[in-house]
Structure 1
């Protein structure tokens, strides 16, 4: 299938690229759309050009895709406001995709890490958004991060025979390791003092969303581990993730950005399946 990739300048000085199929006279008419939302200190290409490759894969299967730089990132103007303040830019991107591709049956929002809370702040209030794909959601609290560090980082090191060999050879600073464990243990007990925690706001937003949600997590990532720990111990999150129309996928070997070709293709396959497009 021939693809079209068109640069766009959105209101507010946001720079975007629209990907869509271009077969047939006048171009194909995609029925489903997807907006890729950038998270962290990235721009619209994504780590390892992952967003470019994903957009082309989806467009080749008939999905119209918009990837964009929010304010202060990449080629867009302004100052970066932080992930909790980019919801207006996401709404602008949804409007631009809907205008460029009239007749879409629905629009999905796809995002990694701290793009997830920004997506959730938008999704329930726009009827055009019918599906979400949320990767390694950022649910960071000081206590949650510390628990994940204790369990999955320090716990993993203690179970690693190589760590003990390095310790016996004097290659590990024992004082630093002990200080790290004690510091993480202390921070893990601060959860009760954290007001209006981000995970609570995210849970409330996701509970209001009435579309379909796919959550994808990595095994080799502390951000994902913090989310998985939360999902396992918090009744509210367990109930939300168990709702009909919500699915979860996990890649145990993958890192935070799904950096290998194998992991990237698996995420693309799951995304296509979730969007209802032919693989």
Structure 2
């Protein structure tokens, strides 16, 4: 795959959402650090606490996040007393190099950890947060990078042909659990029962749907690797799930499978569920819920 650069330029304007969440210059710092011969660009929201947060961006998002969501989150967590660092991985935003996708980000994560510890020498505990494929990369590479705890939201578990997680790919296919919920709802609807009794239902389609509903999740490839990583992780790890998000539904389908039994038995893992379908925690309530879960992990 040819190396490529992705994402808008993300300096003081685009990278931190323009006029959104501006802080005193001595509090919000911009700097660079080295990673495998390339230069990565980062933003640090300063605070006095010794427990800090490293935000790893998902997909091909720049460090400010969608609609400056990660910049706003960083400002809020820093205001609560915890330093927060964000960065663009290689080939994204202001960072040099080629974008090789989230599964090639082990060096980026390790370099970011070193950079944050060097930038904040008073740091005694480092928690890393990622959403979607950033959560997957942290599950795979975080324990070896010098991180103390993980927060993994809506973890990406699907194999893709491209080099980035695509939420639309998850949305294109319903999980077996979602199909079961759909059919249960239909069975409770008198009109649907009448359609079935009167021949108004395509029986071939019904049979195919029932087969899908009873199918077991096939845990191979990336999902299998994530299951093994979660089972083995020694780090306190908080799994966050927006219960109606398709990416999260696929994760839950794998989570409930036999292959993830060792992961479910790992005492280092806890799960918090949010009654939401927002992949990026977009509403004010979702944002507040996410912030509280992160502050809990930071020991606030």
When normalised by structure 2's length, the TM-score is 0.73
Partner Cα separation in structure 2 for residue 271 and residue 37 of structure 1: 14
The C-alpha deviation readout for 1:58-87, integer Å capped at 9, x for no partner, is 111221111111111122122210110011
What residue number does 2:234 align with? Answer: 210
Alignment of 1:191-230 (within 5 A): 191=218, 197-230=221-254
DSSP-derived class of the 1:244 partner = coil
- Paired residue for 2:79, among 47, 60, 73? 60
What residue number does 2:45 align with? Answer: 19
What residue number does 1:156 align with? Answer: 182
Structure 1 residues without counterparts, runs of 5 or longer: 22-27, 169-173
What residue number does 2:103 align with? Answer: 84
Q: 1:57 to 1:101 in 2, by over 3 A?
A: same
The C-alpha deviation readout for 1:150-187, integer Å capped at 9, x for no partner, is 5426953894799x99xx9xxxxx99xx6xx77x95xx
The 8 Å contact of residues 127 and 297 in structure 2, kept in 1 or not, is answered as no
DSSP-derived class of the 1:134 partner = strand
Partner Cα separation in structure 1 for residue 80 and residue 261 of structure 2: 33
What residue number does 2:286 align with? Answer: 263
1:229 Cα deviation from its structure 2 partner: 1.3
Alignment of 1:44-123 (within 5 A): 44-123=63-142
What residue number does 1:124 align with? Answer: 143
DSSP-derived class of the 1:39 partner = coil
Alignment of 1:233-244 (within 5 A): 233-234=257-258, 236-244=259-267
- Paired residue for 2:271, among 244, 248, 266? 248
The 8 Å contact of residues 124 and 208 in structure 1, kept in 2 or not, is answered as no
Partner Cα separation in structure 2 for residue 153 and residue 43 of structure 1: 35
The C-alpha deviation readout for 1:22-48, integer Å capped at 9, x for no partner, is xxxxxx3x3112110111131111123
DSSP-derived class of the 1:253 partner = coil
DSSP-derived class of the 2:130 partner = strand
Partner Cα separation in structure 2 for residue 189 and residue 242 of structure 1: 20
Structure 2 residues without counterparts, runs of 5 or longer: 1-22, 161-168, 196-200
The 8 Å contact of residues 240 and 271 in structure 2, kept in 1 or not, is answered as yes
The C-alpha deviation readout for 1:112-151, integer Å capped at 9, x for no partner, is 011122112322223x311100000011148x96874454
Partner Cα separation in structure 2 for residue 57 and residue 106 of structure 1: 19
Partner Cα separation in structure 2 for residue 220 and residue 205 of structure 1: 25
Partner Cα separation in structure 2 for residue 154 and residue 39 of structure 1: 30
Give the superposed CA RMSD: 3.3
When normalised by structure 1's length, the TM-score is 0.78
Partner Cα separation in structure 1 for residue 124 and residue 59 of structure 2: 30
